[in-house]
Amino acid sequence: MRSTMRAIDLSVGYGVRSVVSKINLDLYPGEVVSLLGPNGSGKSTVLRTLLGLQNPIQGDILLMGRPVRSYSPSQRSRLMGAAMSDRPRPWGLTALEMVEQGRFSRQPDEVACLNALRDMDALDLSDRFLTELSDGELQRVHIARALAQEPSLLLLDEPTSFLDQPRRVEVLRRLADLARERDLSVLLSIHDLDLALTFSDRCLLICGGTLTSGSPEDLVLSGALATAYGQPRGWDPLSHPEPDYPPVWGEVDLNCPKPLFRWVVRGLRRRGIVPGVGPALKIEEVEGTMFSLDMDGKILVTHRLDDLLDMLSEAHRG
Amino acid sequence: MNWYSTVTSSRAKVPLALWLLLGLSMVGAMVAGLCLGSVSIPPLSIWSALTGGDVPVSWRTIVMHLRLPRVLAAAMAGGGLACSGLMMQTLFGNGLAGPSVLGVSSGASLGAALALLLSPTEGVLSRLGLLGSSFIGAFLAMALVAVVAERVRKGATLLILGLMMGYTINAVVSVLIQWAPAERVHGFVSWSFGTFAGIGWDRLPWMGLALSLGVVMALSGHRLWDSFLLGESCAATVGADVTSIRRRMIMTVAILAGTVTAYCGPVAFLGIAVPHLARGLIGSARHRYLTPASILTGATLAVLADLFSRLPGGASSLPLNAVTSLLGAPVVAWVVMRGGDR
């Protein structure tokens, strides 16, 4: 398959100071590639250089098989769209007018712009002024602007940084779908390892001033990810830190449907209780979640775990 | 029916009524400028005077040879300054940019000072006169800004450099004034106050021609200027050729601001203030609307300012720059406070 973009022995940086060197990469149509690396490792610099906003120190960048410097700015923007980390918010432009800027090098086309806004779930923002948008909304508008360019390659610098958790998932899923449907190459830098590992076909990891490529799982198993982030070798990027739980003082005989189990156990541990042998705690889903605790034949029923735990603590103290 | 036909695009299109209001207020201001003065002439007689009807000879002389060229000059200069101010604010991404800020007016002042104060009796400078040397001064200043702009990418830095250049040139002008004979200083000082008077029918067409060229350049490039609203790196990603657009903008500004300053002196505040007013009226940053609105507003305000400056009548007329500053400064303060950062 022909690569959309290829970098050969690329060094990027400022002046003579190279930040990332010996970059060899290929981006293929229909694929989402995540660019990972800790803060300050040079993710944005790599993206800016690939985009042509700054000159490489060394090496070549080929866009559709031709050196990127041989394209005029407008030719380049028809092949390559981008939303970088500076998200300008000029006064007096609506979201749709901002997206229409993406048609700068193409025929103006309002339908294409509305389509791009719809792709980013931002159609309802079309008439709002940019100065009225939240950071997350502005971010989706900027991605829509890049999509309105109808590019073959999309470069996004932290496209999820200001979004709420469900929307992060939503935006990445849509980008992955778009990549597949339109044979679009997507290269995005991202801090959320969990999402990166879930939605990307391939990861590029900046580690020790150079670039390692591999499938997400491979980078975890080889320990490359742990090394790049300065973590112990066995570090699991998907695990979240546990809260500091108080000492355990009691057990309940937990009978709980599976989807709720994780959350109920967390709630119990927060108050010093673990599942085990003890009073029977039954959890059912009828008119919301119902907790019923069998205390020596006396049945306590509540709809909130907190209330139940309050009663338990009181019984324990008494 | 497609899904997008249900999306009602209620985007702020500028209503026709607003354009009519802007156009009519400009015409109204110009009529007032023709009617009022040391001798009041009723509007109907103005019409007769213009069309060659039955009016006293003195009135016809006043209208045709004193007030009409002056009002036309004021309107053209106001429109040109407002347009160049708008272009500079977009170019530098800063609402404080204007011809009087970035050294264009200072460059013109230096040229004018050289012509008026040193004024050799023969040689190139004497033949160039005030007009030519101040235009060349403005053009050289803008060219210097352009050369620096190729290196300095950041708008704010460029703005500060422009300010510093302005101070330096003004210092040189002060030194020239200090050395010059007193009777010549008066000529320079009255030029530096700014005036729309004294531009007769012989010079008006040239001023109009140069300004029309600049205005056509400004109006025709509205899509290019719009892309600059995104900031330079974002503009580059949508395919704008940032360097060539910047050159075109600097060229346009130099033509507009250089011409006005050469003919009318460094007129303060119109260049900075009017684009802010136009933004408040239009409610949009798109140059397609903002450029004509700035030009119309600038023309109206310049005619009114000129009218105010000569209302006291006779020789006791006020300096134009005092009027534009007195009117302009509070307006800018009010608009900026109300509208936040533009």
The residue from A159, A193, A228 where one domain ends is A228
| A72 burial via Cβ count (<10 Å: 0-12, 13-18, 19+) | exposed
* β-strand partners of A12: A20
Each residue of B117-147: pLDDT tens digit?
776 555 555 556 777 888 888 888 877 877 7
Instruction: Please report the pLDDT score of residue B92 as a whole number.
Output: 81
Per-residue pLDDT, A261:
87
Report pLDDT for B183: 75
Complex confidence, ipTM: 0.82
Closest partner CB to B4 (pick from A90, A92, A114):
A114
pLDDT in tens, A136-153: 899 999 999 999 999 999
Contact between chains at B238 and A90 (C-beta distance less than 8 A): no
d(CA B86, CA A8): 44
A152 and A257 assigned to the same domain: no
Tell me the shortest Cα–Cα distance from A313 to chain B, in angstroms: 55
Which of B7, B223, B238 lies nearest to residue A149, judging by beta carbons?
B238
Residue pLDDT, tens place only, A93-110: 999 999 999 999 898 888
Question: What pLDDT, on the 0 to 100 scale, is given for residue B208?
Answer: 93
Question: Which residue has 């460029």 as its token pair?
Answer: B158
Q: Are strands A250-255 and A66-67 parallel, antiparallel or unpaired?
A: unpaired
The residue range of the domain holding B244 is: 55-339
For residues A53 and B242, the answer to whether their CB atoms sit within 8 Å is no
Contact check, Cβ <8 Å, B241/A84: no
Cβ–Cβ contact B241 with A under 8 A: yes
For residue B24, being part of any structural domain is answered with no
Domain boundary among A164, A198, A228: A228
Within-domain flag for B7: no
- pLDDT score at A152: 93
| A308 occurs within a structural domain | yes
Determine, yes or no, domain membership for A235: no
Q: Are residues A224 and A308 in the same domain?
A: no
- The residue among A228, A262, A295 that closes a domain is A228
Q: Would you tell me which residues 35-54 of chain A have a C-beta closer than 8 angstroms to some C-beta of chain B?
A: 48, 51-53
- The answer on pLDDT for A302 being more than 90 is no
Structural domain includes residue A175: yes
Q: How many CB pairs under 8 A join A and B?
A: 93
Does pLDDT of B270 surpass 80?
yes
Partner B, chain A 50-79, Cβ-Cβ below 8 Å = 51-53, 72-78
Are both A159 and A268 inside the same structural domain?
A: no
Range of the domain at A149: 5-228
Which residues 244-303 of B are in CB contact (within 8 Å) with A?
279, 282-286, 290
In the predicted model, what is the mean pLDDT of residues A230-239? Answer: 77
Q: Which residues of A touch B282 (CB under 8 A)?
A: 92
A271: pLDDT strictly greater than 90: no
Q: If you average pLDDT over residues B315-341, what whole number do you get?
A: 76
**Angle, CA of B290, B295 and B297, to the nearest 5°:** 90
Q: What is the mean pLDDT of residues A220-238?
A: 81
Domain count, chain A: 2
What's the confidence (pLDDT) of residue B221?
A: 92
Select from A134, A94, A90, A132 the least CA-distant residue to A114. A94
Instruction: List strand residue ranges (DSSP E) for chain A, in order.
Output: 5-14, 17-27, 32-36, 58-63, 66-67, 80-83, 153-157, 185-189, 202-207, 210-214, 250-255, 273-285, 289-295, 298-302
Confirm or reject contact between A149 and chain B (CB < 8 A).
yes
Q: With CA atoms as reference, report the closest residue to B117 among B173, B59, B58, B46.
A: B173
Question: What are the tens digits of pLDDT across the range A146-192?
Answer: 999 999 999 999 998 888 888 889 889 999 999 999 999 999 998 88
Across chain B, what does the average pLDDT equal? 83
Q: What is the pLDDT of residue B8?
A: 46
Q: Tell me, what CATH number does A58's domain have? A: 3.40.50.300
Interchain proximity A92–B341, CB inside 8 Å: no
3-class secondary structure, A189: strand
Residues A203 and A272 in one domain: no
> Residue A53: which of B236, B282, B339 has the nearest Cβ?
B236
Residues A145 and A60 in one domain: yes
Nearest residue on chain B to A155, judged by CA atoms? B237
Q: Please indicate, yes or no, if residue A243 is contained in any of the structural domains.
A: no
Distance between CA atoms of residues A19 and A28, nearest Å: 25
Is residue A62 located within the same domain as residue A181? yes
Q: Evaluate whether residue B36 is within a structural domain.
A: no
Same structural domain, A80 and A189: yes
**Overall domain count for chain B:** 1
Q: What is the DSSP string of B283-330?
A: ----HHHHHHHHHHHHHHHHHHHHHHHHTT-GGGPPPHHHHHHHHHHH
pLDDT tens string B4-19: 544 444 455 778 899 9
More confident residue, A184 or B103: A184
- Give the model's pLDDT for residue B146: 72
- pLDDT for residue A114 is more than 50: yes
DSSP character at residue A129: B
Calculate what percentage of chain A has a pLDDT beyond 70: 99
Question: A52–B236: do the CB atoms touch at under 8 Å?
Answer: yes
Residue of B nearest to A84 (CA): B234
CA distance B8 to chain A (A): 9
Q: Give the chain B residue nearest A115 (alpha carbons).
A: B4
Indicate whether A190 and A151 sit together in one domain.
yes
B154 touches A at CB < 8 Å:
no
Mean pLDDT value across residues B24-46? 89
Give the CATH number, domain containing residue A305.
3.30.250
- In angstroms, the CA B162 to CA B156 distance is 10
Q: How far from chain centre, in Å, is Cα B202?
A: 21
Q: Which of residues A80 and A259 earns the better pLDDT score?
A: A80
The residue to which tokens 């993206």 are assigned: A47
Does pLDDT of B220 surpass 90? Answer: yes
Output the pLDDT for position B1: 41
Identify the pLDDT of residue B127: 57
Q: Is residue A238 part of a domain?
A: no
For B86, half-sphere exposure in the C-beta direction (CA atoms, 13 angstrom radius) is 34
- For residues A109 and A203, membership in a common domain is answered with yes
What pairs with residue A36 in β-bridges? A205
Residues A79 and A207 in one domain: yes
Please name the member of A81, A101, A114 whose beta carbon is closest to the beta carbon of B7. A114
Contacts of range B94-97, beta carbons closer than 8 Å, 24 or more positions apart = B94/B155, B94/B156, B94/B159, B95/B272, B95/B275, B95/B276, B95/B336, B95/B341, B95/B342, B96/B159, B96/B272, B97/B159, B97/B162, B97/B272
Task: Report yes or no: A273 and A252 within 8 Å, Cβ to Cβ.
Answer: yes
> Residue B44 falls within a domain, yes or no?
no
Query: Is there a domain that residue A233 lies in?
Result: no
The residues, ordered by sequence, that sit 6+ positions from B103 with a Cβ below 8 Å of its Cβ are B141, B142, B144, B145, B162, B163, B165, B166, B169
Owner of token pair 């119109």:
B270
Reported confidence tier of residue A228, pLDDT bands at 50, 70, 90 = confident
A47/A169 same-domain check: yes
Whether A240 maps to a domain, the answer reads no
Same domain, A108 and A199: yes
Cα nearest neighbour of B242 on chain A: A73
Domain-located, residue A244: no
CATH code at position B197: 1.10.3470.10
